[in-house]
Every structure is written in structure tokens, then in C-alpha cells.
Structure 1
Amino acid sequence: MTIRIDPQDFLSFARRPAPAYAGAFDHAQAVLDRYGVTNSVLRLAHFTAQVLHETGGLRLTTENLNYRAQRLPVVWPRYFGPGGALDADDYAMAPEKLANTVYAGRMGNTAPGDGFAYRGRGLLQLTGKDNYQFAAHALHDGQDGAPDLVADPDSVLASAWALAVAAATWESKGCNHFADMNDIARVTRAINGGAVGLSERTAWFRLVYRAFWMLERQRP
């Protein structure tokens, strides 16, 4: 069974989608069919819910690291909380400096500047050089002309590839299987690396699942 979808099915969940995403869903049926996302309403709903959460309703294209000083200990308590080695005032509203510090030495970021270069981008907010390499490998498997995401991180946002990057990452991380089990916690860990925003992701899922289920029933 393949769920039939239309670009507007995705955009209908976003009040003001970012211009970068305007054409990202033009070939959604073919792209999501390729990666098995449209095999069931459950898979499609879980995938879409994660996308909507990660992008703030299709508004966010690149990770916003412009944090005020009082917010930094909440987001990165390890660095800025009690016992942390860094002064939040020194990193407030300094996105490049912040990314190159909190993302340094992990997620494959080894060279100076990697943290900011491979900050969150795209429909699933791909973060860290390892994840860009992982997504590039998944994307290049059988697809001619796929961009080099490591050499050109901004290509994650290209309208011709944005959805394919997200879907390839999704499939390669085993998210179709987790979605089949309706295990949103495992889906979230695969995408986010933790459980950040689990309640909000769950709310998106409930909304999206009902909408897709109704659409599927109404189609001849």
C-alpha cells in the first residue's frame, strides 16, 4: 500500500513556510516512495511530525544560535549551568563562537570551525559533520547528481534535495521501523540524539496522523 500525497498536504501544516521550502515538496510522492515513507499513514505521520517540529512548522531552515545569556544555561547546562566552565555573557548573541565551542570535538567535528559549518540545517536539522557525511552517503546511493553535503553544507537546503536528504537520513537511521512500532521516543532519539521536545513532537504527530488518515479516507 502506498499513501498518495500532494505537496499541499505538507504545506497545509505551516502558516508561513520559509521560502527555501517552497519547492521542497514538489516531488514528494516520488521521493518519499523511494525511501518507504509512504508505505503507511503511520510512517508518513511520524516523518512529517518530526519535520514540523525540527523546523518550527517549516519556518526554520538553519539552526538559530542567537541565544541570550539567560537562555544558555537552559539549553547547554553542561557548559553554562552550575559548575560549567563557560560564562554565558561571553557567548550571548554570538552564534559562530557558540557553535564552535559547544559542538567542538563531537559529532565528527574535529577541525576549527566545524561546529558552525555543520550546525543544524534542513527539514530534520542535520547537525554535525558525521551526520552530514552519513546523509551524503545515504543520498548518493543510486542517485546521480546528488550534492556533496560535506563540501557544501548549505546544499542541504537546496529545494531539489532538501526532502531527499531528510528522507534518506530517516530511512538510514531505521526510523521507518520505529514508526511501524509507533514508537515516537525511538524515532525522536534517532533524529535528535535525545528526547528534546518529545511532548511537542507527540502533539504534532497526533495532529498530522489524523489529517493524513482523513485525507486517505476521502481519496477515491
Structure 2
Amino acid sequence: MPGSGVLLGGAALVGLGAWAMRGGAAAAPLTVDQLCAVMPRLTPSVAASYLGPLLAAMREAEVTTVARVAAFLAQLAHESGELRYWEELATGDAYEGRKDLGNTQPGDGRRYKGRGPIQLTGRANYRAAGAALGLPLEDKPELAALPAHGFRVAGWYWQSRHLNALADVADFVGVTRAINGGTNGLDNRVMYFDRAQRVLKTEAA
């Protein structure tokens, strides 16, 4: 999780509502109150503005069960400081020349620093996400820091790494490694995961 970053407060309020059945399994509901319970530093008004694109992105990525939603929300909460930080405040110079991230051109470190609720990083990831989602992210990486696109980018990253399968078998450490490259902040991520499970399961009970 970045120590600080760009604070975003909101797009237009979109329609809310319960999810339909998907893939034969009951989809996990998510409301403004639940989102605020998982991420208490979010105000209800900001949570309301995010809920529509968040739900749409989760449906697109098939994050539609309590186990998957809890794991997804936990990782986003940690990476983005409870959906408050949408662009890494650090310059990105630490990523310069990182060929493993596809940063092969001068200035790529700054240009493709972490953005969005999952902190997408590196030219290669921006290129792949853009191709998959039909967005010009390689040419306009700042788009990943907009909620309407950033949540979809997070969903793409989640699905492209097959993290639903890990969430289904409760391999939260594996999910963390796929997102972080290690287990940095694991205790904090687990705290959010446990909280999300309690919130979602209480609603479903």
C-alpha cells in the first residue's frame, strides 16, 4: 500500500442493486454500507460513487461469490489505502529499466508507475490490460487512475492471474503473492479479508 497518493472522490452516482445468479453460483451482494464496513475510511458518498463501477468490474471478472469478493476487496483495500489512493505518489523512478515489467524505454518507470485500486505497474501490464479491455492504456496510462477504468483494470489483473481459483480454495497467501510478488503487508491484507468475510457472510445469513 502506498503511503500517500492522489485522492479521488467521485464519479456520478450510479444505480445500485443485488446481483443475479452467475455461473450457477449465488453472487455475493455488496452495498454501500458493506463497502464502508470493509473500508471504514471511505465516506458513504464516495463509496456510493464507486459501487456501480466496482460491481460491474467484479461481474466482468467473475468475482461473484463471498469468497472471491472478500479476497478481491481485501487486496484492493490494502493496495489503494481503502480506495483512497489511485496513483502512486512516488515518482516511479524505482521501476526505471525494469525489463521484467516491460519498462524498456527511457521514462517508462515514471510513465507506468502504480495506478488504480490494484496499483497496476509497468508498460507490459498497461499494454496487456489495454488490449484486453479495449482501452489505450499504453498511450494514456493515466486512464488507469480513473474509477470507471481502474476497477476494470483490477478485475482484468485478477482474472488474468487466475485468482478466482485461488480464492475458491482459500489460498489467500497465493493471491497475495500473485498481486504483490511476495507477502508484503500480509497481516494487513488478512485483516481486511477477515473483515470482508464477516461483513458479507452476516448479510447472507
Corresponding residue for residue 81 of structure 1: none
Give distance in 2, aligned partners of 1:165 and 1:7: 21
In structure 1, stretches of 5+ residues that fail to align are 66-94, 141-146
**Aligned counterpart in structure 1 of residue 58 of structure 2, from 24, 27, 32:** 32
The correspondence of residues 106-185 of structure 1 with structure 2, limited to 5 A, is 106=99, 107-140=101-134, 147-185=135-173
Corresponding residue for residue 207 of structure 1: 195
Q: How many aligned residue pairs are there? A: 177
* Alpha-carbon displacement from aligned partner over 1:159-205 (angstroms, at most 9, x marks no partner): 32221111111111111011111111110111112211111111111
Corresponding residue for residue 17 of structure 2: none
- What is the CA-CA distance between 1:133 and the residue it aligns to? 1.6
SS of corresponding position for 1:61: strand
Check the 8 A contact 1:62/1:120 in 2, yes or no. Answer: yes
| C-alpha spacing 1:62/1:14, structure 2 compared with 1 (3 Å) | farther
| C-alpha spacing 1:149/1:9, structure 2 compared with 1 (3 Å) | farther
Corresponding residue for residue 79 of structure 2: 54
Corresponding residue for residue 93 of structure 2: 100
| C-alpha spacing 1:43/1:16, structure 2 compared with 1 (3 Å) | closer
Check the 8 A contact 2:116/2:147 in 1, yes or no. Answer: no
* Alpha-carbon displacement from aligned partner over 1:104-131 (angstroms, at most 9, x marks no partner): 2321001111001110111100011111
Check the 8 A contact 1:6/1:28 in 2, yes or no. Answer: no
SS of corresponding position for 1:162: helix
Corresponding residue for residue 29 of structure 2: 4
In structure 2, stretches of 5+ residues that fail to align are 1-25
Check the 8 A contact 1:133/1:149 in 2, yes or no. Answer: yes
**What's the RMSD between the two structures over aligned residues?**
2.1
Sequence identity percentage = 34
Give distance in 1, aligned partners of 2:46 and 2:124: 24
- What is the CA-CA distance between 1:14 and the residue it aligns to? 3.6
- What is the CA-CA distance between 1:8 and the residue it aligns to? 4.5
Instruction: State the TM-score, normalized to the length of structure 1.
Output: 0.73
Give distance in 1, aligned partners of 2:32 and 2:137: 24
Give distance in 2, aligned partners of 1:21 and 1:110: 37
Instruction: State the TM-score, normalized to the length of structure 2.
Output: 0.78
